[in-house]
Amino acid sequence: MKNTFGSSISLTIFGESHGRAIGAVLDGMAPGVPVDEEFIAKQMDLRRASGRISTARHEADKVNILSGVFNGMTTGTPITMMIENQDQHSRDYGELAYKARPGHADMTAQMKYHGFQDFRGGGHFSGRITAGIVAAGAVAITALKMKGIRIGTHILTCGGILDRSFENYDEDIIKLEDAAFAVLDDGVRQPMIERIEKAASEGDSVGGRLETAVIGLPAGVGEPWFDTLESVLAHILFSIPAVKGVEFGDGFALADMTGSSANDPFRSSDGKIVTATNHNGGILGGISSGMPIIIRTAVKPTPSIYKQQDTVDIKTGKETKLVIQGRHDPAIIHRARIVADSAAALALCDQLALRFGTDYFAPCEKG
């Protein structure tokens, strides 16, 4: 299994949902980047389950930093971050050892790992593994902020309810930083929550779309072909469980536009080349243009639902019925948005280090 992302600054994830611990190793980050454990805890809180719109599995998600940080700063060596699992109900998965849950990786995991995989709670395929991404992402987000680069993600749609898109990027991203339920139009928050609660009461789930904005990224980052900025960002975003679509700028809508309406006219502003519109989402020819990067990510409904479903017994090959037990999210989009922030931050740190060198994020020499 491939568990490492990145070339210059790389992330390796480890652990299983019901194992002893999960975590991440962030390697290649320059020395001298502040590591604020309070900020890491805040980011973890934004991913944590809460209330009726999330699973009843509530984990402390305390991040233990085992290496790579000294006196609150990165040392330049691998940063190992471990999160202990403390609230597992493994007995809920006894019946599922051979019954493939629709929408999950149970069947494909069986084909790849020949029955040796840890199936409890989805094992290594579980969304719980994203906790390590958020922990490492907090370091990446701090590094980017030192360079004037900021990221914000909101719930663009949930259960068919639409939030507004970004307008004033600076103000909108600041608003999202501490939002427990990240929307830009406060008027849609409660309707979205009620839609999730309704799905939960029916034993069902809902999905939606996230919209991410990156501001302050310099022009010239990315490659023209196989490592385009879009392909690298899509690579890590598609690694988030339940993500089934990624688009940049106007994305698929561009297919129905004319060239004259899809093109972004160039202008000069304060000595910089900018575009009057941003249909292409801040990326041209696979390389950043200096305009805001706009990414939309489709998150499917949580596959763990409480309705009876048809399946097959993996061991016998016979068709059977399945009713999932345990604790599951009726929607994960409100928790996934901080994962999207973190994943994008990790990819951008790697790309910036490749473009400008491994000491790009290093401050002036200590002393």
Report the alpha-carbon distance of residue 172 to residue 179 in Å, rounded.
Answer: 11
Domain assignment present for residue 155? The answer is: yes
- Per the listing, tokens 């749609």 go with 157
Residue 324 lies inside a defined structural domain of this protein: yes
Determine the distance from the C-alpha atom of residue 129 to the mean position of all C-alpha atoms in its chain, rounded to a whole number: 11
317 assigned to some structural domain: yes
Q: 102-108 long-range contacts, Cβ below 8 Å, gap at least 24?
A: 102/303, 102/309, 102/310, 102/311, 102/322, 103/300, 103/303, 103/304, 104/303, 104/304, 106/314, 107/312, 107/314
Residue 34 maps to a domain: yes
pLDDT recorded at residue 55? 62
Q: How far is CA 270 from CA 22, 45, 158, 287, in A?
A: 48, 40, 39, 22
Enclosing domain of residue 303: 4-356
Strand partners, 243: 299
Q: What pLDDT was estimated at residue 91?
A: 56
Residue 102 lies in a domain: yes
Q: 163 — phi, psi (to 5°)?
A: -90, 165
Assess contact for 155 and 299: CB atoms under 8 A.
no
Distance of alpha carbon 361 from alpha carbon 19, whole angstroms: 34
C-alpha dihedral sign at 141, 146, 149, 151: positive
CATH of the domain at 246: 3.60.150.10
Residue 137: per-residue pLDDT: 98
Residue 363 lies in a domain: no
Amino acid at site 271: G
- Give the per-residue pLDDT at 17: 81
- Tens-digit pLDDT profile for the chain (367 aa)? 589 999 999 999 999 988 899 999 999 999 999 999 999 999 999 998 676 776 655 667 899 999 999 999 999 999 999 999 886 555 555 566 678 888 888 888 888 888 888 887 787 788 888 999 999 999 999 999 999 999 999 999 999 999 999 999 999 999 999 899 999 999 999 999 999 999 999 999 999 999 999 999 999 999 999 999 999 999 999 999 999 999 999 999 999 999 999 999 999 999 999 999 999 999 999 999 999 999 999 999 988 888 888 989 888 889 998 888 776 788 999 999 999 999 999 999 999 999 999 999 998 666 5
Residue 165 structure tokens: 């898109």
Query: Considering its fold, how many domains does the chain have in total?
Result: 1
In a domain, 364, yes or no: no
Which distant-in-sequence residues (6+ apart) come within 8 Å of 280 by Cβ?
Answer: 248, 249, 250, 254, 262, 264, 289
Q: Tell whether 362 is covered by a domain.
A: no
pLDDT at position 284 is: 98
- Are the C-beta atoms of 140 and 346 separated by less than 8 Å? yes
Which is nearest to 19 in space by CA: 70, 80, 93, 107?
A: 93
Find the radius of gyration of the CA atoms of the chain: 21
Number of neighbouring beta carbons within 10 Å of residue 10: 16
Please say whether the dihedral angle defined by the alpha carbons of residues 170, 172, 173 and 179, taken in this order, is positive or negative.
positive
The amino acid sitting at 193 is: I
Residue whose C-alpha is closest to residue 298's, from 251, 345, 254: 251
Residues 6+ apart with CB under 8 A from 142: 33, 34, 35, 36, 39
